[in-house]
Amino acid sequence: MDPDHSQHLQELRRGTVALACLIRLRTPEYGYALLETLTADGIDVDANTLYPLLRRLEKQGLVSSEWNTDEARPRKFYTTSAAGTELAAVLTTDWDRLDASLRRLREGA
Amino acid sequence: MTNRNDLTARYLDAAAGQVPEPQREALRLELAERIADTMDAKQSTGASAESAEYDTLTELGHPAKLAADYLDRPLVLIGPRYYLLWRKLVRLVVPIAAGVAAGGAAIGALADDKSAGAVIGELWSTGVQVAVFVAAGITVVFAVFERTVPDGEMDPGSAWRPELLPEITTPTARAVRRDRVAEAVWLVVLGVFVAVLRPYSASDGSRHWVLDGGTWQWLQWALLAIIAAELVMAIVTLARGRWTWTHAGVGLALNAATIAVLVPPLLRGRVFDPAALRALDWADGPAQLGQGGHVTAILVVAVVALCAWDAVKGFLRAAKQSPAAAR
């Protein structure tokens, strides 16, 4: 891909990964499973982006985490917190508003 | 190193070693989960255990960088929050501190009656040392701020208001100011140097000033008078913020005076004391610096060339700035 294009795409998508995580983590999920789900749903995200992002969201209190030690491999499960749900609603509204604005701009031109 | 055994264990150790004790175990556990899950995914698509492990760790990247990401620790010494303030302080404080310290060291060395070379050496080494220490000190303080002060607090840019913008200065006024300030500082240093220089005295061997006592008696005052006049001119131009034809004329007169007082005694070999030159183990010094000597010729040409250039520079600046050129 054109390197200029990929840089702009990356900038455009930056905030959407956080929103996608907050929406998907309404049900608890561990890191790698989340990575696979998001990728399967067409949200392109790199592991080197997703894992630090989860930690940041946890630090900000937007997701909570719990270690599951039932299986042989202990895994950290993340869940969207109340604050995270609230933020997801705000971000979703803004996403829809932006989508409508861009549509108007395209059609008006 | 080409040892490919226990790569995962080594990676976990290397990354965990970069974070403080309380967070070490948490990082280790999270990272172990991530590595194991990623390796499983790679093996499920047909990769061997070894190559899955190798590729997974390669994708994770340098353990120190990963640990820095984990801690949200900055990977820059001084970030955008403090860079401008840091730059301003370094530019302002370092030259002043170095200049003051160098001046002090030079005066101290002169008071100890050290040779001219030793005084210059002292001045230079002290100036450089103080500049390095002050710059490093300022940098350390800001690097600590960068790592300890939370975002949003103590942001030097937060108190900025539009009325803090500097007054508009024309490019010439700015150039005049910069130039004249540098010149005034240089003149003061030169004046102090000329004022404390002592001629050679045979009775006191430690005084290795090679100047001739009889000539220096009047030459010192003549040079000090010229330097004082130059200083007054520099300050007047600084206050006016522009160069004028009058200043160019005064500059010409002062440069002519410099040539008039320096060149005749130089040509006649009267500036330096022959006994002093011999005392410095410079056997043919008296001949070289005497009437018709090679060094004498070089000195005379240098003095005349410097003075002539300085005078011409004054006229060039005045011409550039005269109303005719401005139109």
User: Predicted confidence band at B154 (pLDDT cuts at 50, 70, 90)?
Assistant: low
For residue range A6-35, list pLDDT tens digits in order. Answer: 888 888 888 899 999 999 999 999 999 999
Asked if this assembly's ipTM is beyond 0.90, the reply is no
d(CA B270, CA B265): 5
pTM: 0.55
Q: Is 90 exceeded by the pLDDT of residue A2?
A: no
Q: A92 by DSSP, 3-state: which? A: helix
The pLDDT tens digits of the residues spanning B198-219 come to 666 655 554 556 777 778 888 8
Contact at CB, B29 and A31, closer than 8 angstroms: no
Nearest in space to B270 (alpha carbons), one of B254, B291, B293: B291
The number of beta carbons lying within 10 Å of the beta carbon of residue B294 is 11
> What average pLDDT does this structure show over A62-77?
90
User: Are B34 and A32 inside 8 Å of each other by CB?
Assistant: yes
Write out chain A residues lying below 8 Å of B61, CB-based: 48
Q: Which of the residues A29, A32, A53 would you substitute to probe the B interface, choosing the one with the greatest number of B C-beta atoms within 10 Å? A: A32
Segment B158-163 mean pLDDT: 73
CB contact under 8 A, B29 and A76: yes
Dihedral-angle region of residue B281 (phi above 0 means left; psi in -120 to 50 means alpha; beta otherwise) = left
pLDDT digits over B6-60, tens only?
Answer: 899 999 999 988 888 888 888 899 999 999 999 999 999 988 988 999 999 999 8
* B134 pLDDT higher than 70: yes
What pLDDT does B325 receive? 41
The predicted model gives A88-102 an average pLDDT of 95
Using a CB cutoff of 8 Å and minimum separation of 24, what contacts does A36-41 make? Answer: A36/B41
Q: Is residue B176 within 8 Å of B243, Cβ to Cβ? A: yes
Which range has the worst mean pLDDT, B42-46, B47-51, B148-152, B189-193?
B148-152
Residue with the bigger pLDDT between B197 and B7: it is: B7
Nearest to B16 by CA among B29, B5, B6: B29
pLDDT at B57: 92
pLDDT on residue A28: 93
Per-residue burial over B245-266, b = 16 or more CB atoms within 10 Å of its CB, e = otherwise? eebbebbbebbebbbebbbebb
Is B68 within 8 Å of chain A by CB? no
**pLDDT interval class at B151 (50, 70, 90):** low
Contact B36 A30 (CB under 8 A): no
Q: Is B25 within 8 Å of chain A by CB? A: no
